[in-house]
Amino acid sequence: MSSSTPVPQVRPETTADPNGIAHHTVGACQATWRTVSTAGGTSTAAQFGYPACGAPGRIDRFVQVSQSTVYRPVRACPDHARQDARTPAPEPAAPDTGAAERATTPRLRPGHPAPGRAFRYNQNSTILPATAQWLLLWAAAHVEKVGLFQGDGLFATGGRTVTLKASMLGVLNVAAGDGRRSSSREYDAPAIRAARTLALVLLSDHLNGSPMESPEGADEEEQRRLRHRLVHVWGRTPGRTAAEAAEAFRAAADAAPQ
């Protein structure tokens, strides 16, 4: 009787994130930006919207998912690596500067949906989303209601903000409260800003086809401008419809933390 020697199994290399969760180290580079020449070749700039690089890469850093303790790995090839940002620290929570004022002023009606309440769209509602998921769902319903504006600026003209045909960014702004706030309600401004910021990240990542990668040295404001540009250009593509815009908002909402 013959016997065979078991073939040893080779386990893939892993790298632990800040929570101690192991991720496969090796993978395709996810960068969707390229360095291009500008000003007649005298300088360079980062340009987004390219397909993912796809070159062999390794985990370059971990990025904390907004409003979550979860980290996702970012794999990069040598051309797109940014080693100094391997484990970025989460941004500190914004201080509640209105606590003292609220303690000495009459109690206002809540300006946000009650926990556990099912989503419902109302064009004239003064209740504002406090989460990215609700904000994106509201935006999807709103663009279906008013239509997608593809001209210059964020809105068409000739009426109240909530009734105007709006661009992709205009719809996001209305969902976050532009033209809808009421002086009789109390709003959590930091929560609204956080929801708007995360909604932009989720939407731009969805439209880009993969997480957008920022070039080394890009600060938060530059990253925001790049994401705004991608969303704006996508919305102004000739032939783009409100139905397509609504579908994009809902797809981004599906990726939002629950």
Q: How far apart are CA 2 and CA 14, in angstroms?
A: 37
Residue 165 has pLDDT above 90, yes or no: yes
d(CA 119, CA 111): 15
Q: What pLDDT digit, counting tens, does each position of 138-164 carry?
A: 999 999 999 999 998 999 998 999 999
Average pLDDT over residues 222-239: 94
Q: Are residues 162 and 223 in contact, defined by beta-carbon separation less than 8 angstroms?
A: no
Residue 91 pLDDT grade (very low, low, confident, very high; cuts 50, 70, 90): very low
Cα 130 to Cα 127: distance, rounded to the nearest angstrom: 9
Which of 167, 235, 248, 142 has its CA nearest to residue 202? 248
Report the pLDDT value the prediction gives residue 85, as an integer from 0 to 100: 39
**Read out DSSP for 9-71?**
P-PPPEEE-TTS-EEESEEE-----EEEEEGGGTEEEEE--PPP--SEEEEEEEEEPTTSS-E
Cα separation of 16 and 241, whole Å? 43
Residue with the bigger pLDDT between 41 and 34: it is 34
CB atoms within 10 A of CB 241: 11
Residue 116: what pLDDT? 62
On the 0-12 / 13-18 / 19+ scale of CB atoms within 10 A, 122 is exposed
